[in-house]
C-alpha cells in the first residue's frame, strides 16, 4: 500500500511539472508596449465580438503555440482574435493581433502554482476567504494573477501583480 501511494505521488508530481511548464517557453509579442496591449484588449472586450474561422496562417501559428489545445473556439473584433481552448483540462484564452502576434495569455492555474508572494498578499488581505478560481495572465512583459476568493455569499476578485501588489479588487455580494 505504501508503494502504491509513493508511486501515485511521483506520477502526480510528474504530471504537475509537465502541466506547469506546458507554455513556459511561449513568446508573448514585444512589438507593442504593455500599455498599448492593455488598451487593445480593453477595446476588444468592450466590443461585440463574433465567432469566426481564423485565417489559415493564424490557425497554424496557434497550433504551433498550443499543440495540445482542444475545444478551440475563435472570436474576432477590433483587430483582435480571441481563442478559448483547453490544455490538459485547464481553461485558457489567447489574444492575437491580425499579424499573428500573441498579445496576452490567460491560463487557469491551481492554488499550489501561485507564487508565495501573490498567495500571501491575497491571504493577508482576506484571511478568512477561500481561494475559488485563479488565472495567470501574461500580457506583454507583465504577469498578473486574477484570484476569486469566497466567504459565504461574498466573493472578491483580486488582480495581483507577480510582486504581490494588489492592483484591483471588486466585490460581488
Round the average pLDDT of the chain to a whole number and report it. Answer: 89
pLDDT digits (tens, 9 = 90+) for 86-144: 999 999 999 999 999 999 999 999 999 999 999 999 999 999 999 999 999 999 999 99
pLDDT digits (tens, 9 = 90+) for 7-31: 444 444 444 444 443 455 688 999 9
Closest Cα partner for 128 from 156, 107, 101? Answer: 156
The per-residue pLDDT for 102 is 98
The per-residue pLDDT for 13 is 44
The per-residue pLDDT for 2 is 53
Give Dmax (Cα) for the chain.
57
What structural domains does the chain harbor?
25-105 (3.10.450.360), 111-172 (3.10.450.40)
> From residue 158, how far is each of 83, 104, 106, 167 by CA, in Å?
24, 18, 15, 8
- Position with higher pLDDT, 83 vs 27: 83
Sign of the dihedral through C-alpha 134, 127, 122, 111: negative
Amino acid at each position: 500500500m505504501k508503494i502504491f501511494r509513493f508511486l501515485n505521488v511521483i506520477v502526480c508530481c510528474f504530471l504537475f511539472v509537465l502541466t506547469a511548464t506546458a507554455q513556459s517557453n511561449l513568446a508573448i509579442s514585444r512589438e507593442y508596449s504593455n500599455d498599448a496591449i492593455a488598451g487593445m484588449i480593453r477595446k476588444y472586450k468592450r466590443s461585440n465580438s463574433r465567432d469566426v474561422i481564423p485565417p489559415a496562417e493564424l490557425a497554424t501559428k496557434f497550433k504551433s503555440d498550443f499543440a495540445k489545445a482542444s475545444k478551440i473556439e475563435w472570436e474576432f473584433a477590433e483587430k483582435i482574435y480571441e481563442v478559448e481552448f483547453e490544455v490538459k483540462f485547464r481553461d485558457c484564452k489567447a489574444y492575437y493581433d491580425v499579424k499573428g502576434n500573441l498579445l496576452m495569455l490567460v491560463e487557469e492555474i491551481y492554488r499550489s502554482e501561485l507564487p508565495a508572494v501573490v498567495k500571501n498578499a491575497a491571504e493577508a488581505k482576506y484571511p478568512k476567504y477561500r481561494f475559488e478560481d485563479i488565472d495567470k495572465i501574461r500580457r506583454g512583459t507583465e504577469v498578473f494573477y486574477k484570484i476569486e476568493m469566497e466567504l459565504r455569499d461574498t466573493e472578491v476578485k483580486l488582480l495581483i501583480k507577480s510582486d504581490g501588489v494588489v492592483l484591483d479588487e471588486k466585490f460581488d455580494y
